[in-house]
Chains A and B, each alone.
Chain A
Amino acid sequence: MSSPAFLSPSASTIKRRRKNFIFQSICTFAALLAVSILFILVGKVVMDGMGRVSPKFITSMPSQMFPGKAGILSPLLGSIFVMLLTVLFVVPVGVAAAIYLEEFTAQKTRLVRFIQVNISNLAGVPSIVFGMLGLTVFVVIMGLGKSVLTGALTMSILVLPMVILVTQEALKAVPKHYREASLALGTTQWQTIRRAVLPSALPGILTGIILAASRAIGETAPLIVVGAVGLVTFLPDSLDDRYTVLPLQILDWIGQPRAEFRTAAAAAILVLMALLIILNSAAIIIRARAQKKV
């Protein structure tokens, strides 16, 4: 029961079909590989550090002498402190800049286009260069010292382009008729923005803020340049205290020769990743809720 000759595929067709199959397999395999990188990475850290994570690990001070007793209290609080201050500084400026670029500029003048190009360029500047900006402006010129405040201000400039870009996207997504309906009631532009545009753009803006916060937790390089230190065994209680952050503590422990410190580093990485996952899932939940509403 062979099919008629004109229906059976020619040799070249078979070859092309095989190529097609191989190409699809390569693409699928690449995707699997990319996903497995994350799982291997997380798996390795969990295997190395899970046994070391305990309430005591989180509530005791770090140490370079006793790897078994060392904890992450001061770096964890330092990280949270820097993150909160960064959000506090960057949100008003970033959101206001985005509002100007999206709402107050009806026609895209040359200046607006220049600002826009400039923001995307700023987003591509290596993070360590922001550290050098912070070192010169905040430490040397303004004399703020190597403090939490300096770290947070530097971090704010680093995440500013990201906050502006995400907020702009959120504002762009607000339907035009919201604005028109509000303006038709005789409001000023600012009233329209405040009462009609911002509330419906809020989930998008919040997502951007959370992404900025997680970036602020993970970044290390600029903080080293502006003088965060590797080992701090006291809690920062004012804005001009010396401080350390979680990634920096991890860096310090990785550099120690004894293997127990490697384990402590893995455990600290787990805490850091847990913090990031909490932030990211909050962002995902906010996004999902907003989509449901629409």
Chain B
Amino acid sequence: MALADLNQSLTKRAAFTQVNSQNRARTISQTIVRAICFCCAMFSIIATASIFFILFSESLPFFQKVSVVEFFTGREWTMMGAQQKFGVLPLLVGTLLITIGSGIVSIPLGLFVGIYLSEYAPSKVRKVLKPILELLAGVPSVVFGYFALSLVTPALRGGTSWIGEILPTLNPLLPEFRPANAAAGAIVVGFMTLPLVCSLCEDALTAVPKSLREAAYGLGCTKAEVIAKIVIPSALSGIIASFILALSRAVGETMAVTIAAGATPQLTFNPGNEVMTMTAQIVNVSKGDVSRGDMRYQSIFAIGLTLFLITFALNILAQRFVRKMGRTGS
């Protein structure tokens, strides 16, 4: 009897310790996996830190030869010949022209499409429209470059000559479009950023509570009045965030503007002229084989740093607006 008892308790204990060791193995693997996942999450911070560090440290040799003031106020960028000049203003203005021009296309159009999607579209139409916009967002940048060269620029030329024929008095005002021009670049970048504006505006508008709309309808407003006076003002910070993000995307856009807007850095505000953006300049230098000690190699890091700081500031600003919406909305 006592022996059987002992025996039973021993088996129990054996089973117990077995579970325990199994448990320990499970806990260990849990800890290991958790640690691995943590490292992967930290990887994104390392990537951001490296970007900061590399852009600063690699552009340091450049700024030792060209002062920061000279870089930001110089009106000329030439790398050919003995007289190299590194004034970033022409590139900055080129980027600005493209960005503003793209905003003129994408902001109003995107807002109206966003309103249509959230307020007017029947669910069946929305189900078709949204994948189409997603597809537009997925079209590679190079393709938009081709589109600009083969369709947008000819259309711009045709359009201006047509206006010139009908209203000859306007003729001196119309820009003459070169094969590569800022306007075509701006228009295609506007098309590229359009889906972003559409979907973010739609999200912001849909988040406006139904009760607000119903209260306005109850007061006898028409649908357009409800949208313009109630829905848009309450979604305003989200809408503004979408505009800022689209502009930030346009600043960093590279291939389409390289193809469409040209490769001549010049300080111009004429949309018919060739301009070179900061990104296009980086591509231009990278295509040639330049070594690390070369001034040209170092200059792209100075441009990259400028580009990065601009987009970073815009993104932070957009996040501010998004957070504001989170607080006031709902």
* Interface positions of A (Cβ within 8 A of B): 16-17, 19-20, 22-24, 26-31, 33-35, 37-38, 40-41, 44-45, 48, 92-94, 96-97, 99-101, 104, 114-115, 117-122, 124-133, 135-137, 140, 157, 160-161, 164, 188-191, 214-215, 217-221, 224-225, 227, 230, 247, 250-251, 254, 262, 265-266, 269, 272-273, 276-277, 280, 284
Contact with A126, one of B44, B112, B121, B252 (Cβ below 8 angstroms): B252
16 A-B interface contacts by CB (under 8 A): A20-B222, A24-B224, A27-B120, A40-B151, A45-B146, A104-B37, A126-B308, A127-B252, A161-B44, A190-B30, A190-B34, A220-B140, A224-B287, A254-B142, A272-B140, A276-B140
Residues in chain A near residue B301, CB distance under 8 A = 132
Chain B's nearest CB lies how many Å from the CB of A156? 10
Cβ contact within 8 Å between A126 and B48: no
Cβ contact within 8 Å between B48 and A118: yes
Contact with B112, one of A30, A119, A217, A225 (Cβ below 8 angstroms): A30
* Nearest-CB residue, chain B, relative to A146: B289
Q: A129-B308, A137-B50 given as contacts; is B141 within 8 A of A27 (CB)? A: no
A225 to B55, CA, bound (A): 14
Cβ contact within 8 Å between B113 and A34: yes
Dominant SS at the A interface? helix
Cβ contact within 8 Å between A119 and B44: yes
- Which residues from 232 to 265 on chain B have a C-beta closer than 8 Å to any C-beta of chain A? 245, 248-249, 251-255, 258-259
Cβ contact within 8 Å between A120 and B319: yes
What 1/0 mask marks residues of chain B from 17 to 37 whose CB sits below 8 Å from any chain A CB?
Answer: 000000000110110011011
Residues in chain A near residue B316, CB distance under 8 A = 121
Q: A24-B224, A35-B132, A96-B37 given as contacts; is B304 within 8 A of A128 (CB)? A: yes
- Which stretch of B8-16, B73-81, B278-286 is in the interface? B278-286
Residues in chain B near residue A100, CB distance under 8 A = 34, 37-38, 40-41
Residues in chain B near residue A38, CB distance under 8 A = 132, 135-136, 139
Cβ contact within 8 Å between B146 and A269: yes
Interface residues on chain B, number (Cβ under 8 Å): 89
Dominant SS at the B interface? helix
In the A-B complex, the 9 residue pairs with the closest CB atoms: A126-B252, A218-B140, A30-B112, A100-B37, A23-B224, A221-B254, A96-B40, A27-B116, A20-B222
A97 to B27, CA, bound (A): 20
Residues in chain A near residue B286, CB distance under 8 A = 131, 135, 224-225, 227
Residues in chain B near residue A225, CB distance under 8 A = 282-283, 286
Residue B43 lies at the interface, judged by CB distance under 8 Å to chain A: yes
Residue B63 lies at the interface, judged by CB distance under 8 Å to chain A: no
A284 to B138, CA, bound (A): 14
12 extra interchain contacts, Cβ-Cβ under 8 A, other than A133-B51, A218-B139, A276-B138?
A27-B116, A41-B144, A44-B150, A97-B41, A100-B34, A115-B44, A121-B312, A161-B44, A251-B255, A254-B142, A254-B149, A262-B150
* Nearest-CB residue, chain A, relative to B31: A190
* Nearest-CB residue, chain B, relative to A157: B47
A122 to B47, CA, bound (A): 8
A16 to B222, CA, bound (A): 7
* Nearest-CB residue, chain A, relative to B117: A31
Residues in chain B near residue A221, CB distance under 8 A = 141, 254-255, 279, 282-283
Q: A44-B151, A133-B51, A136-B54 given as contacts; is B43 within 8 A of A114 (CB)? A: no
